[in-house]
């Protein structure tokens, strides 16, 4: 670990108790101050993001609004207060006299956040992981993503200054660069939790480090998902055009660089959806991927899918100066069930696989074969016999179940769950979007017979 990162972790450890003990109103005001500062710097930050991410200005400005909304939402949560459960003394309690108990939630301590590439604001330096950990009372040390280093530095400086001006202790927030320092930070005993958004391979390697420590720590990783969409026969007959258009628009949104992109579409054999989706995909133009590294990964992943013996190409994408045009592939449910490890694999970019099925039993068999996913979607009719069992199967395997919608677009709201069973995430009990994301960084402590004014919260 470099001396700089070592010093940042040391400062975060020193700031842990003062930041945790800061009055709720002051901590909330500090989060609001960060939001206000970022909003005011939009004309400085958006051009940097545009330069480094190749994303359009409108998308980036909208994402910055999402980022500051998240910060203000967590500020409101801090003001409302985290869960406290109290039991009054009861000498006649059936299991024996009950003492006075007060269960509160306390911050874990310094959190290392690994920034994501595909959302340079909302899942990066000042994104949801950072906001939720700060709201919980934990100092944050962010490992910058190499895809947007200048934006990361600029954002971090604004965040740090805003927090300091609002009264946060020195060391409450910091940023560092470098993969080696990232690995070392996971192993450092001063780190008490890690939040990560990225690839399955990279996330799993860091997760293994986190749990290999003498003191294992929570590792909250979002690692990948193919987000399957199941279309019942009656829905395909009733809304073929609408479903085909929505599907193509969804898997090409953001050039297919959303973790919630539908990578599989299950449709009945003989459905017109294949033909209509093919027409719509061919009409889509090229769009740039985030950076050369992602372009190389997309090209390699697509080549593996396209080269599979059971896969046929419906639309052949072309990689040009402006980026790739969409690629649409097709296979059968029988072939998918024969090799799910290859065919049901995330391909990060504007490509997706249409899977034709013969009957409802085959549709359910595909659902049962799936690994953990962030989302699972059903396009159906309420009268479909297969709807209830299909929804039940998906609920066992995904973090968010959709009905007649598309998974791209994750609302920042209290009831949202952005997570799912492994390998979608390493912790299916928690979300990385919405105000309950702070629960990842809080630990319950019960105070027995301790006067309320003497307990930390």
Rounded Cα distance, 75 and 24, in Å: 9
344-393 per-position pLDDT tens digit: 999 999 999 999 999 999 999 999 999 999 999 999 999 999 999 999 99
Q: Which helix (H) or strand (E) holds 78?
A: helix 57-80
Instruction: Work out the angle between the directed axes of helices 24-40 and 128-136 (0-180°, nearest 10).
Output: 160
Q: What is the mean pLDDT of residues 105-112?
A: 98
Going across the sheet that includes 219-222, the strands are 173-176, 140-143, 111-114, 193-197, 219-222
Query: What is the mean pLDDT of the segment spanning 288-315?
Result: 95
What's the pLDDT band for 454 if we cut at 50, 70, 90? confident
**pLDDT, tens digit (0-9, with 9 covering 90-100), for 197-220:** 999 999 999 999 999 999 999 999
Q: Which helix (H) or strand (E) holds 295?
A: helix 292-306
The span from the CA of 211 to the CA of 188, in Å, is 12
Dist CA 155 CA 124 (whole Å):
9
Residue 220 CA to residue 123 CA, distance in Å, equals 13
Options 52, 138, 259, 347, the catalytic residue = 259
For 285, phi then psi, to 5°, come to -90, 180
What pLDDT score was predicted for residue 453? 85
DSSP 255: G
Partners of 373 in the β-ladder: 398
**Rounded distance between C-alpha atoms, residue 176 and residue 153, angstroms:** 9
Computed over every residue of the chain, the mean pLDDT equals 96
Is 321 catalytic? The answer is: no
- Burial pattern 150-174, b for ≥16 Cβ within 10 A else e, equals ebbebbbebbbebbeebebbebbbb
Q: Identify the pLDDT of residue 193.
A: 98
Which of 222, 346, 347, 393 is labelled catalytic? Answer: 222
pLDDT band at 456, cuts 50/70/90? confident
Q: Is 402 left (phi over 0), alpha (psi -120 to 50) or beta?
A: beta
Concatenate the DSSP letters of all residues of 200-235 into one string.
HHHHHHHHHHHHHSSS---EEEE------EEE-HHH
Work out the average pLDDT over 41-62.
Answer: 96
Q: What percent of the chain has pLDDT over 70?
A: 100
Architecture of domain 228-403: 3-Layer(aba) Sandwich (3.40)
Asked if pLDDT for residue 295 goes beyond 90, the answer is yes
> What is the arithmetic mean of pLDDT over 61-82?
97
Tens digit of each residue's pLDDT (9 = 90 or more) over 163-172:
999 999 999 9
Token pair 């989060």 in the structure block, residue? 31
How far, in Å, CA of 381 to CA of 351, rounded? 27
The C-alpha atoms of residue 138 and residue 193 are separated, in whole angstroms, by 10
How much is the pLDDT for 457? 67
* Domain segments of the chain as ranges: 3-223+425-454, 228-403
- CA angle at 77 for the pair 105 and 440, rounded to the nearest 5°: 45
d(CA 61, CA 66): 9
Measured CA to CA in angstroms, residue 2 lies from 20, 141, 142, 178, 208 at distances of 27, 14, 15, 9, 22
| Residue 226, both tokens | 């193919």
Collapsed DSSP state (helix, strand, coil) of residue 18: helix
What is residue 452's predicted lDDT score, i.e. its pLDDT? 80
Candidates 46, 59, 50; CA nearest to 253 is 59
CATH of domain 3-223+425-454: 3.40.605.10
Q: Poorest-confidence range of 64-73, 127-136, 349-358, 444-453? A: 444-453
Which residue is it, tokens 């801090």? 78
pLDDT for the residue 455:
80
Q: What pLDDT, on a 0 to 100 scale, did the predictor assign at position 277?
A: 98
CB atoms within 10 A of CB 110: 30
Q: Is the pLDDT of residue 75 over 80?
A: yes
Give the three-class secondary structure for 142.
Answer: strand
Give tens-digit pLDDT for 413-429: 999 999 999 999 999 99
259 catalytic residue (yes or no): yes
Describe the crossing of helices 57-80 and 128-136 by its angle, rounded to 10 degrees. Answer: 10
List, in sequence order, every residue forming a beta bridge with 332; answer none if it has no partner.
Answer: 356
At 74 the pLDDT is 98
Nearest to 83 by CA among 446, 434, 412: 446
Q: How many CB atoms lie within 10 A of CB 416?
A: 18
Q: Which residues pair with 197 in a beta bridge?
A: 222
């Amino acid at each position: 670990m470099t001396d700089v990162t070592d010093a940042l972790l040391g400062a975060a450890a020193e700031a842990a108790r003062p930041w945790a003990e800061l009055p709720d109103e002051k901590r909330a005001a500090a989060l609001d101050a960060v939001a206000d500062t970022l909003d005011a710097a939009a004309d400085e930050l958006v051009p940097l993001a545009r330069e480094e991410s190749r994303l359009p200005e409108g998308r980036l400005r909208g994402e910055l609004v999402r980022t500051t909304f998240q910060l203000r939402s967590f500020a409101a949560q801090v003001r409302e207060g985290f869960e406290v459960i109290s039991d009054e003394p009861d000498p006649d309690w059936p299991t024996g006299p009950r003492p006075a108990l007060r269960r509160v939630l306390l911050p874990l301590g310094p959190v290392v956040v690994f920034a994501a590439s595909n959302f340079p604001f909302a899942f990066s330096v000042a994104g949801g992981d950072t906001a939720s950990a700060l709201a919980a009372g934990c100092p944050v040390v962010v490992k910058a993503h190499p895809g947007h280093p200048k934006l990361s530095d600029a954002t971090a400086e604004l965040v740090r200054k805003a927090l300091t001006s609002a009264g946060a202790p020195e060391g409450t927030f910091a940023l560092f660069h470098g993969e080696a320092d990232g690995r070392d930070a996971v192993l450092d005993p001063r780190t008490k939790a890690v939040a990560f958004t990225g690839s399955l391979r990279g996330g799993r390697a860091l997760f293994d480090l986190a749990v290999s420590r003498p003191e294992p720590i929570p590792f909250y990783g979002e690692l990948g998902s193919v987000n399957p969409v199941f279309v019942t026969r009656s829905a395909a007959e009733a809304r073929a055009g609408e479903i085909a258009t929505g599907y193509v628009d969804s898997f090409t949104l953001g050039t297919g660089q959303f973790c919630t992109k539908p990578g599989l579409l299950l449709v009945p054999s003989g459905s017109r959806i294949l033909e209509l989706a093919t027409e719509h995909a061919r009409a889509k133009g090229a769009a740039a991927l985030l950076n050369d590294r992602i372009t190389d990964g997309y090209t390699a992943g697509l080549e593996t899918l396209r080269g599979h013996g059971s896969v046929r190409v419906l639309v052949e994408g072309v990689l040009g100066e402006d980026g790739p045009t969409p690629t649409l592939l097709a296979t059968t449910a029988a072939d998918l069930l024969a090799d799910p490890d290859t065919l049901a694999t995330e391909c990060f970019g504007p490509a997706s696989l249409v899977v034709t099925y013969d009957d409802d039993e085959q549709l359910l068999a595909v659902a049962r074969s799936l690994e953990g996913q962030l989302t699972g979607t059903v396009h159906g009719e309420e009268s479909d016999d297969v709807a209830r069992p299909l929804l039940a199967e998906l609920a066992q395997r995904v973090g968010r179940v959709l009905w007649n919608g598309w998974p791209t677009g994750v609302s920042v709201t209290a009831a949202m769950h952005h997570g799912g069973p492994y390998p979608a995430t390493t912790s299916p009990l928690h979300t990385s979007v919405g105000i309950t994301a702070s629960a990842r960084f809080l630990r319950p402590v019960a105070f027995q017979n301790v006067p309320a004014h003497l307990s930390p919260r």
